Amino acid sequence: MAYRNGVALAQRGSAVKFERPNHLRTPSSPKPRFPHSPGSAVRRSTSAAARSGDGVPGRVRVSVRLRPQNTEEMMADADFADCVELQPELKRLKLRKNNWDSDTYEFDEVLTEFASQKRVYEVVAKPVVESVLDGYNGTVMAYGQTGTGKTFTLGQLGEEDTSDRGIMVRSMEDILADISPGTDSVTVSYLQLYMETLQDLLNPANDNIPIVEDPKTGDVSLSGATLVEIKDQPSFLELLRVGETHRIAANTKLNTESSRSHAILTVHVKRSVVDSEDVVSTENNDASHLTKPSKPLVRKSKLVVVDLAGSERIHKSGSEGYMLEEAKSINLSLSALGKCINALAENNSHVPFRDSKLTRLLRDSFGGTARTSLIVTIGPSPRYRGETSSTILFGQRAMKVENMLKIKEEFDYKSLSRRLEVQLDNLIAENERQQKTFEEEVGRLNLEAQCRISEVERKFADALEKERLKCQMEYMESVKQLEQKLVSNEKRHGSNYFVDGCGEGPTPSSEDEVSEIRKLFENECNRRKAAEAEVEHLKILLGKNTHTQAGGDAEVIKVHSILEDEVNQKKKLEEEIIILRSQLLQLNFEAEQMKRCLGSERSVNASSAMDSSMSQVRHSQLKDTGNGQKASVATLFEQVGLQKILSLLDSDDPLVQIHAVKMVANLAAEEVNQKGIVEAGGLSSLLMLLRRYEDETVRRVAAGAIANLAMHEANQELIMAEGGITLLSMTASDAEEPQTLRMVAGAIANLCGNDKILMKLRSQGGIKALLGVVRCGHPDVLSQVARGIANFAKCESRASSQGIKSGTSFLIEDGALPWIVHNANNEAAPIRRHIELALCHMAQQEVNAKDMINGGALWELVRISRDCTREDIRNLARRTLTSILPFKSELRRLRIDV
């Protein structure tokens, strides 16, 4: 069966009427539309259309579309047969030379004048669009004579009838429907090539866009073109409307609105894809639960839709003047494109891409890496048989061009970073949940353990009470004997004793030694009285001799020497008396300790009635002991005098000095005595002992006395003025004994609580000296260090809030922060409490926030705000975390609630 334009020929006498689409009608023609003819062509799936042909996936696919006759052609060619005959089921086209001869051509698709726009899109462009969504570059181009329907095929907007939508609109619909708005993006540029000049249709002021070629890859880019991101179809339609208003067109004999430029729409698609995860196999070839992490990739592809200006012959189009120059430029660029396609079809070594800007832009489309689909449009009129033949031959040559398709993927580091951040946040949240579960389980186990311990303690107490009652009668006789012995000891020993102010324990003594020392003390007193009487007698004699000359100068000198000897002897006797009094009080204290030991034995073995009586005895003993200690110190102070005790600090006898500094330390422990000690020069004497003595006992007791004096604010400035902090720092660096270091640290800690001496204390090395004593590791020493740091942080925070001080904390500058963070959760309650308070005061200064976050103090502040036993410190930490901006930002980033 013969076909004429794809439809079976009717008998000569019958008339066949066709409705023509409005894109090809002349001004005088009505508004016909393309009828949808189900039998006009055999439908194929888009996948088959994408891979059909001669088995070469990268070959340029060429389709031919026939334009219907317009009104003018119906009238002019009524007596002539159409020069084109279509055989769509065979994908063939016959071009008649005359009534008896014709040439036959085969194409990838043959579309009749009744083919719908949807059919054209599915056959020509949809396989290319699918390839673009898979990561390949794609090109859809229309070529043909002026007035054959190229712009209608590609750029029709379909505002009046959606079925008339062209390839540009339908392509964007499929692209937007397939991408993910959250991870993918689509950007569009719209240009025209007019008179060998690239102009931006979206920004007419940009009328000379350069073409940039990558010297390594040969890829072409237009760096100056306007790129618009597309989110929805209406915005894309508006973009096409703007572009069409700026495109150059003119009225010719062949077309009322002939495009005088090549329009180039470029759609850039960026998609995020993830490789499939690889399963790690075990030795037994069993799939493991471990998988390699997937790789995030970015596929960048572009779809280029090219609406070429129509080729025309000057004598038929009637172009004159400037339109003539436009026609020449169009024909030159199309001629350059034809030369390139001929060279590629014949596999020539040189392809003249640089002869025209159009060929440079289409370098990737012909002979490159893009999937290209070309639609050639022709008309049925025999008057334009030459133009139709030229167009068909162009399409035939293009079918011989093969491209090397290549997917373009890049590693998506930003996506991987975002995914890892999400995983990290999930792991942190999971860790917090597990930690909370663990803490709840530990709390439950602790509660069960406490219940069991309470039960065991109760049972043990019952058993112990039974055992005590059982043994009570057995030990009654032993208790009576101990009571008799205790009564005899109380008769022989006094109850007064002297307690060493520095905490040294007593040593055992016998009754004979006590009696002997008492006798020596009485003898010394008698000798002192005799010496005083002798001195008075000598003074009387000296007075008498002043009125006589019998003795002469020799006797006067002798008397003076005797007096000096007596004075020295008196001084030594006084020192010995003080020492003997101290030893006597010490022995009394030892005797009391013996009585307490006997009392403790009695309390263990006595019955219930005896327990009550002995507790009353012990209470009276303790009361007498305390009263005895105070009475002994007061008595010694009254008998000897403060000035005399301070003068003994300079004695040459080490034993005398030790006893003297101990007495000063005991006196300094009472606030009522501190003012007198300072006014009498006791502070200077104690500092002098620290400076020149290496004896550990003297330094320890002197440091303790200075620590007692440093508790009074008035004495703190005097200590600093006389170089006390320097001497304490030297002692801290030299001493090794824990008790000495505890005294030194306590003195510095007291000084740290004075706002007025804060700067001077730090400049003279007080903070570094305080941190230096932590090498000892003794809990008592560390407790004093923590107290000093807390006092310093509190004063520094107050000075910062008042505007007296600015800048980073001195504690951070001197390197105290690591030690503070390390001991913030110390097992010892005094250390932990002081460190928690110091952290809260340091955190109140916003300038310290960055160093504290980097040093790990933020986590300790969070713990303090939740778990601190003291409510005031817990509230202070919570208020600081919610008011200081850097802490709030970091907690928000870590997703931690306070």
Binding residues for ATP: 144-151
Vertex 201: Cα angle to 197 and 205 (nearest 5): 75
Contact (Cβ atoms closer than 8 angstroms) between residue 835 and residue 789: yes
Beta bridge partners, 102, equal 96
Beta bridge partners, 187, equal 229, 268
CA R_g for the chain? 55
Residue written as token pair 């040439």: 103
Beta bridge partners, 381, equal none
Instruction: Give the span between the Cα atoms of 467 and 775, in whole angstroms.
Output: 48
Contact (Cβ atoms closer than 8 angstroms) between residue 849 and residue 843: yes
3-state helix, strand, coil in the chain (%, to 5): 60, 10, 30
Contact (Cβ atoms closer than 8 angstroms) between residue 211 and residue 220: yes
Instruction: Give the span between the Cα atoms of 387 and 790, in whole angstroms.
Output: 97
Contact (Cβ atoms closer than 8 angstroms) between residue 102 and residue 84: no
Contact (Cβ atoms closer than 8 angstroms) between residue 865 and residue 898: yes
Instruction: Give the span between the Cα atoms of 881 and 384, in whole angstroms.
Output: 85
Contact (Cβ atoms closer than 8 angstroms) between residue 578 and residue 640: yes
Residue written as token pair 């100068």: 553
Which residues fall within 8 angstroms of residue 695, CB to CB, at 6 or more apart?
A: 654, 658
Instruction: Give the span between the Cα atoms of 117 and 675, in whole angstroms.
Output: 109
Q: What is the 3-state secondary structure (H, E, C) of 661-672?
A: HHHHHHHHCCHH
Contact (Cβ atoms closer than 8 angstroms) between residue 857 and residue 840: no
Which residues fall within 8 angstroms of residue 811, CB to CB, at 6 or more apart?
A: 767, 789, 792, 793, 796, 817, 820, 838, 842
Q: Which of 745, 744, 738 is nearest to 778 (CA)?
A: 738
Q: Which of 296, 604, 531 is nearest to 423 (CA)?
A: 296
Vertex 746: Cα angle to 742 and 749 (nearest 5): 135
H/E element, 372: strand 371-378
Residue 9 burial class via C-beta count within 10 angstroms: exposed 0-12, middle 13-18, buried 19 and up:
middle
* Residue ranges of the binding site: 144-151
Contact (Cβ atoms closer than 8 angstroms) between residue 268 and residue 182: no
Pair of tokens at residue 43 = 């439908």
